Structure 1
Amino acid sequence: MKELAGRLTAVDPDAGAAVRVIAYFDTLAEGRAGLEALVRGAAVLAGCPARLVDTERRVHVRVEPDGRRQDCDLPPDPTWPSAPLVPGGEPALWLERAGNAEPSVVDAVILERAAGVLRLVLDRTRGRAPLSPADDPALVETVLDATATEQARLHAARRLGLDPDDPTTLARALAPLRGRPRILLVRREGRATGDEARRARGAGRLADGEARDRHGAAPGRQDDAPGLRDDGPGDDGPRDREDGRPGGRSARGRGEGVLGDGEAHGRRAVVGPRDGGPRDRAAGGRLGETGLPGGRVGVGPAVPVLGLPGSWDGARIALRFTAEGTAQDPGERVVHADDLGGIALLAELIGPGAEPPPDVRDLERAAADSPWMLATLHAVASTASLRAAAVGVNVHHSTLQDRLTHAEALLGWPVRTPQGRLRLHLALTMRHLARG
């Protein structure tokens, strides 16, 4: 193999490097290397941090390119090169390359080869035990099935550990883009009164005495300008996340656990703030992303056990409003049905794969003109000021103004007035709904 790699290097350096990568991971596999050694190999070969995230097995390993293990609580950036552990699965192995660049040939080989060996090690060392009732997907599907009899749903719920007679227990349905349905148990600490339980059911939130975190940017002060406010030089405006990316949340929950994901349902699944979300917002009462499936997820409202079919309907609607969170598909990867309000009615008007409305077609034409278009317009629609939007896409304020002038010429309507911003927000939302 070494001789072949040497010959190939003389002809094609990338091909030679790829062969050496294959040989390297073959050697690790033969030596029955562990997870950390494999992730370390990926990091050293790639020259950047590598991260393994397997939520179902609760495995998180991150290694720096110098070989030091340094785990991190921040979620992986969806723009990083990644590979699933199984074909068609969620990304699990990540190379933390900045700049949204396409992975090189060598990166692709590192990811593919390392992921294959990691899968073998995980299956060998952390293979699934026989299903307990709380892990049985058939029980989860029965609880969520509106056509199942009430008796069947109650029986399945009790086997899952959900007590229909306990007023302190609510649950949410989760609809991942990939993977099976899940149920998030919301068990409030302390004794609940009947009024508190009703308020929790109506609000679809954890009712644990903490403040409710509203979706979207906090309202800003009113300026003289009739549209989206411009805070002026020196004021960066409210960031949606401390790392500058839009869409982050601070969250604190209590007593939440996921059923149907192969893990014990009683574990605490929510901590907060998790990813450096804004500290000045009200923390708490909001479901965080810890313990949720990876990728795009729709989250249904918190309801009593027998209301879970309705929560499942809401979760599936919310899923249609999600995005990949990339430059070409900006938006929230996790959407809560009870944050949508009347916007959810759009899902009834625009079916998956339907002919896009004219504004969406205009948006697609504008997006084809410039790679920065969608991310910039999303930042304008989802932040409280132009200054905050500029921070969100990491450009100077004057550059943002130039971009918006160009975008308005392509779209045919203004995006810096209240009416234009609303129209832009609707167009971006309908774009998500119209895709197949």
Structure 2
Amino acid sequence: MEALAARLSHLDPDVEGAIRVVMFYDTLMRRRVDLPALARASAGLAECVTGIRLHSTGRTLRMAPDGREAAPAALPASTTVAVTLDDEEIGTVWLEREGEPGALDDAVLDRLAIAVATVVERYGPARTTMADPALVELVISADGDDAARNRALRLLGFPVDAPIRVAAVRSGVPLEKVGSLICHGRPVKAASLGDVGIILATSVDPVRFPEGVRAGIGAAGCPRRSWQEARTALRFTTARQPVIRYDELGALALLARIPEEDTRANADVLAITSLAADPEDLRTLDAYCATGSVRQAADSLHLHHSSVARRLTQIGKSLGVEVTEPAGLTRARLALALWRLLGE
């Protein structure tokens, strides 16, 4: 390798430097160094502050060329490279150099990113969000015993004594992206089970779910029970309310226990099924049930309130109830919720 670098240096002075960078990191990997040692060695090689950050833990390392932890950032990152593992971005590495980037900065960061991914994969649970579906299923299974569930949690990187919150997700957005958004800087794992995505996390921020995602969130605690709650909450989600926490449902959660055949046979639910043939009528009823106000429903639909009032009169005749009266509104809300639970 040394002889090759010397020969190539006659053709391109930067080639020898790039090869020496590769050799430098190969040596570090043979020595099985950890992340602080990688950051420290890289800072010495680049002769500037070098940083490493892992998304899943929020951990950040910044080392100065003298081998000590760097002082609070005074310079922005001059060059940044993503760290990927199993095609997922798990972190970033960067250099904080004053002035223009050095000729070999890209080579240094490319090799550093590879080295960081190798270290993360080698030590402890992999810090990728996507997990082995078999392990995730074992955690949420109603049949598994506590010992097996605890082993699965340890393999997934969760403290056994930490409460686990489960989210059931239907999304066109990749699960790993959803997981990193809703539980930034804390342990989070995801897997697909049939047509539903499962996210396990120590905490979930409902407002951070991206657009286009529907999610039900179980209460923290036992993963098995939290998964059941999350699936129930997911069934209640709508385009208007795409993310629902189970504990927000209250008594409405009891509707999910009604046998499907009884729900389908209910006269109010049958009337909603017929009404759903006209999307405009369904949107109008949905807006009114959500607000309980003709004017607020009109505002959300961008219509005049008199137009909405006329529609509601016709809808009431179709349903056989006066939806603008308290009792009729209650029946319409319950019928609409039950119709959605059927997945129609």
TM interval, short-chain normalised: 0.5 to 0.7
Give the Cα–Cα distance (whole angstroms) in 2 for the partners of residues 152 and 366 of structure 1: 49
1:344 aligns with 2:253: yes
Letter in 1 for 2:169: P
* CA distance in 2 between partners of 1:348 and 1:266 (Å): 24
Which position in structure 1 is the counterpart of 2:219?
Answer: 301
Tell me the TM-score normalized by structure 2: 0.53
Specify the alignment match of 1:363 in structure 2. 272
Distance in 2 separating the partners of 1:261 and 1:352? 31
Shift of 1:154: 0.6
Question: Hey, what does 1:146 align to over in structure 2?
Answer: 142
Deviation for aligned residue 1:319: 1.9
TM-superposed deviation, 1:185 = 9.0
Distance 2:202 2:146 in 1: 29
8 Å CA contact 1:390, 1:400 repeated in 2? yes
1:258 correspondence with 2:188: yes
Residue aligned with 1:389, SS: helix
AA of the residue aligned to 2:142: A
Q: CA offset at residue 181 of structure 1? A: 9.6
Shift of 1:411: 1.2
- Using structure 1 for the length normalisation, give the TM-score: 0.43
Letter in 1 for 2:218: G
Paired letter, 2:226:
S
Q: 2:159 corresponds to which residue?
A: 163
Change (3 A) 1:268 1:336: closer
Give the structure 2 partner of residue 287 of structure 1.
206
Report if the CA contact (8 A) 1:173-1:311 is conserved: yes
Say yes or no: does 1:313 pair with 2:228: yes
Shift of 1:322: 2.2
Paired residue for 1:132? 126
Unaligned runs of 5+ in 1: 1-55, 59-128, 187-251, 271-285, 326-330
For 2:188 and 2:332, locate their aligned partners in 1 and report how far apart those are by CA, in whole Å: 36
Q: Structure 1 residues 178 and 397 mapped into 2: Cα distance closer, same or farther (>3 Å)?
A: closer
Matched letter for residue 288 of structure 1: V
- Please tell me whether the aligned partners of residues 174 and 181 of structure 1 are also in contact (alpha carbons under 8 angstroms): no
If you compute each CA radius of gyration, which structure gives the higher value, 1 or 2?
Answer: 2
Residues 31-430 of structure 1 mapped to structure 2, 5 A cutoff: 132=126, 135-165=131-161, 169-177=162-170, 258-260=188-190, 287-290=206-209, 295-303=213-221, 307-323=222-238, 325=239, 331-351=240-260, 355-368=264-277, 370-430=278-338
- Unaligned stretches of 5+ residues in structure 2: 1-86, 90-119, 193-198
Provide the identity percentage.
34
- The answer on whether the counterparts of 2:163 and 2:220 sit within 8 Å (CA) in structure 1 is yes
CA positional deviation for 1:374: 0.8
What is the Cα deviation at residue 145 of structure 1? 1.1
More helix by percentage: 2
Quickly say closer, same or farther: Cα 1:377–1:261, change in 2 above 3 A. same
**CA deviation map 1:217-236 (0-9, x unaligned):** xxxxxxxxxxxxxxxxxxxx
Once residues 156 and 250 of structure 2 are traced to their aligned partners in structure 1, the CA distance between those partners, rounded to angstroms, is 30
Between Structure 1 and Structure 2, the one with more strand by share is: 2
Distance change >3 Å, CA 255–CA 419, structure 1 → 2: farther
Could you say which residue in structure 2 is the equivalent of 1:78? none
Shift in alpha-carbon separation, 1:177–1:335, aligned structure 2, 3 A? same
Partner Cα distance (2:245, 2:261) in 1: 19
Q: Distance in 1 between matches of 2:155 and 2:283?
A: 45
Q: How many angstroms does 1:257 deviate by?
A: 5.5
Structure 1 residues 295 and 413: alpha-carbon distance in aligned structure 2, compared to 1, 3 A threshold: same
SS of the aligned residue for 1:355 comes to helix
Give the distance between the partners of 2:183 and 2:148, measured in 1 at CA: 30
More RCO (CA 8 Å, sep 6+):
1
* Shift in CA distance, 253/162, structure 1 to aligned 2, threshold 3 Å: closer
Q: Secondary structure at the match of 1:288?
A: helix
Aligned residues: 215
Contact 2:287–2:297 (CA under 8 A) maintained in structure 1: yes
Q: Following TM superposition, by how much is the alpha carbon of 1:159 offset from its aligned partner in structure 2, in angstroms?
A: 1.8
- Superposed displacement of residue 384, structure 1: 4.7
Whether the 8 Å contact between 2:158 and 2:187 is mirrored in structure 1 is: no
Cα distance in structure 1, aligned partners of 2:149 and 2:203: 24
The two structures, once aligned, show a CA RMSD in angstroms of 4.0
Partners of 1:357 and 1:312 in 2: how far apart?
29
Q: Is the 8 A contact 1:171 1:185 kept in 2?
A: no
Deviation at 1:256, TM superposition (A): 5.3
Residues 291 and 382 (structure 1), Cα distance of their counterparts in 2 relative to 1, 3 Å cut: closer
SS in 1 for 2:244: strand
State the distance in 1 between where 2:249 and 2:164 align: 18
Find the aligned partners of 2:342 and 2:289 in 1 and give their Cα distance: 19
